[in-house]
Amino acid sequence: MTATVVTITSGKGGVGKTTATANIAIALAELNKKVVCIDGDIGLRNLDVVMGLENRIVYDIIDVIEGRCKLKQAMIRDKRMEELYLLPAAQTRDKNALDPKDMVSICNDLKPDFDWILIDSPAGIERGFQNAIAPADEVIVITNPDVSAVRDADRIIGLIEAEQKGPARLIINRVNAAMVKRGEMLDKEDILELLAIKLIGIVPEDENVVISTNRGQPVVLETKSKAGQAFKNIAQRLLGEDIPFLQFDEKEDIFSRLFGKKHSGGS
Amino acid sequence: MTFKIKGFNDGLLVTLSEGDWKENITCFLTKIEAQKSFYKGAKIVLDCGGRGLSVVQLSEIRADLGNRDISLFAILSQSKITEKNAKLLGLETNREILEKPRKRLNETLLLGRPAIFINKTIRSGNKVEYDGSVVIHGDVNPGAEIIVAGSVMVWGKLYGNVVAGSNGDQSQIICALCLKPSKLRIANISFPIEILQINKNAVKAYILDNTVVINAWDFK
């Protein structure tokens, strides 16, 4: 078994890197893949919270690098999935505690035992980003349908190309179908035209994401969530399956009718 | 019946002595016949001294030289009549051609640095700086910068910051298939943001008499 290393990054903060990492990891695990997530956000760790594994942390990635524990000791097994692990970040250190060489060597140690290694990149274009991108075999750029997030995505795609890690694939997260329809939000075509990379998923805006994040129960586990379904689709596309992108407008109409309210997206 | 031959940058200067035109020419042509290979392909400037020559005489000598694969491209003379007639035949009459090296076409094209070709999209945070011209096959995204001494040609959409003629040369141009830059400047003249928002198809931006112009890029 040789794992594929996928780095999820965005440039801008708050667009959904951590949420996407957690959800894609769980979706892959549900498809019977062995998955490990690495939280690359040293000093501002969140992935453990989103995955609901915060209180299980004993050692972290810096402890591994600095030799205080073995790699296996720092890895936390998910409470729901047999074959899903988290390698948490250190909270009391900063990005400079790690360098790209360390990330590459950790991934090389993990590769034989897993199918997928997902790295949750921190925001920004500095050391943390460089650490996260160094071991990547594939890169997923995540953006929101707003001008500033897309601008930052463009910047980060340029840096990924410069590191010769491209071509990256794109997730457009938090798409509000109603707003797109009213022309108040950038639509898929606008974004793809500017960024000129392949799309791997569109995730609708979904209130369930906030609720599930607070509960540490990623939305992909909720069968009814549209966002959860979108993340499942992304996981299947990562596995090379050809899953069509669901049409926004039709969904919007059906859901408005069903729930009689301005719901939170289609998929 | 003598003549002098002197080389200059670009050809041969042949100075005919005073005396009968016909004899002089015959003598010169005989000399050429004797050294065909030396003269073959040469460019000749003929200094005819003070004599007045008719259009017929001049065109005859040009034809005679042409038949021998020699091009006559200038006539020098103190005679106003000769000068006028030479001009009528499209010949150079200015003595300065002897001093100024005449540039061949390929040399003219290579003046300055050769243009560079970039076959990709220039993304936010990337900067292209160059002291020649640049051709981009791709887009120039918002947040990207192009600063060049020459001209900019974008076979794609231009959304970023662009400066052409950065050394102050107002004759440089900026072309794009879609022009909506955040900033556009040629030499020291910035384009007002209002005219950048009017998005026509393929356009060419340039400076004419210190004013900005954006026109259809129609290749004429």
Number of compact structural domains in chain B: 2
Please indicate whether, in this complex, the C-beta atoms of A155 and B121 are within 8 angstroms of each other: no
Distance from CA of A163 to the nearest CA of B (A): 14
**Residues of chain A whose C-beta is under 8 A from some C-beta in B?**
125, 151-152, 154-155, 157-159, 161, 194, 196
The beta-carbon neighbor of B121 closest among A155, A159, A196 is: A196
Domain count, chain A: 1
Same domain, B113 and B168: yes
- CATH number of the domain bearing residue B156: 2.160.20.70
Please choose, from the candidates A91, A92, A61, the residue with its C-alpha nearest in 3D space to the C-alpha of residue A74. A61
Query: How does DSSP classify residue A12?
Result: S
Answer for the pair B116, B132: CB distance below 8 angstroms, yes or no.
yes
Tell me how far the alpha carbon of residue B22 is from its chain's centroid. Answer: 37
- B97, B131: one domain: no
Residue A264 covered by a domain: no
pLDDT band at B108 (very low <50, low <70, confident <90, very high): very low
* Contact between chains at B123 and A157 (C-beta distance less than 8 A): yes
Q: In the predicted model, is pLDDT for residue B8 greater than 80?
A: no
The arithmetic mean of pLDDT across residues A35-44, rounded, is: 95
Domain that holds residue B62: 3-102
Is A42 a member of any domain? Answer: yes
Model confidence at A217, pLDDT cuts 50, 70, 90, reads very high
Mean pLDDT of B85-94: 84
The residue segments making up the domain with residue A152 are 4-259
Asked if B94 and B169 sit in the same domain, the reply is no
Q: Do B142 and B73 fall into the same domain?
A: no
ipTM above 0.95, yes or no: no
pLDDT category at A122 given cuts 50, 70, 90 is: very high
Range in A90-99, A108-117, B46-55, B133-142 with the lowest mean pLDDT: B46-55
Chain A closest-CA separation from residue B125 CA (Å) = 6
In contact, A131 and A103? CB cutoff 8 Å:
yes
Same domain, B115 and B201: yes
In a domain, A34, yes or no: yes
Radius of gyration of the CA atoms of chain B, in A = 26
pLDDT above 90 for B195: no
**pLDDT at A261 > cutoff 60:** no
Residue A267 belongs to some domain of the structure: no
Is the pLDDT score of A101 beyond 90? yes
Are B56 and B138 members of one domain? Answer: no
Examine residue A105 and state whether it is found in any structural domain, yes or no. yes
Residue B70, pLDDT score: 87
Instruction: Give the contacts of B71 (CB within 8 A, at least 6 positions apart).
Output: B42, B43, B44, B65
Mutate to test the interface with A, among B118, B119, B122, B124 (most CBs of A within 10 A): B124
Q: What is the pTM of this model?
A: 0.70
Tokens 């009459």 label which residue? B93
Put simply, the answer to whether B139 touches A158 (Cβ < 8 Å) is no
What are the tens digits of pLDDT across the range A163-191? 999 799 999 999 998 888 888 889 899 99
Instruction: Compute the distance between CA of residue B167 and CA of residue B111 in angstroms, rounded to an integer.
Output: 15
Domain assignment of residue A265, yes or no:
no
Which residue of chain B comes nearest to A191, CA vs CA? Answer: B141
Provide mean pLDDT across the span B13-32.
84
- Helix, strand or coil, per DSSP, at residue A143: strand
Least-confidence region, from A113-127, A198-212, B48-62, B157-171: B48-62
Gap from B121 CA to chain A (nearest CA, Å): 9
- Average predicted confidence (pLDDT) for chain A: 90
**B83 & B147 share domain:** no
Q: Are residues B125 and B207 in the same domain?
A: yes
Which range, of A122-126, B17-21, B72-76, B148-152, averages the lowest pLDDT?
A: B17-21
Residues B197, B140 within the same domain: yes
What value, to the nearest 5°, has the Cα angle with vertex A100 and ends A95 and A101?
130
In B, which residues are within 8 Å of A161 by CB distance? Answer: 120, 123
Give the residue from B87, B102, B117 where a domain finishes. B102
Task: Provide the pLDDT confidence category of residue A148 given band limits of 50, 70 and 90.
Answer: very high
Higher pLDDT, B126 or B92: B126
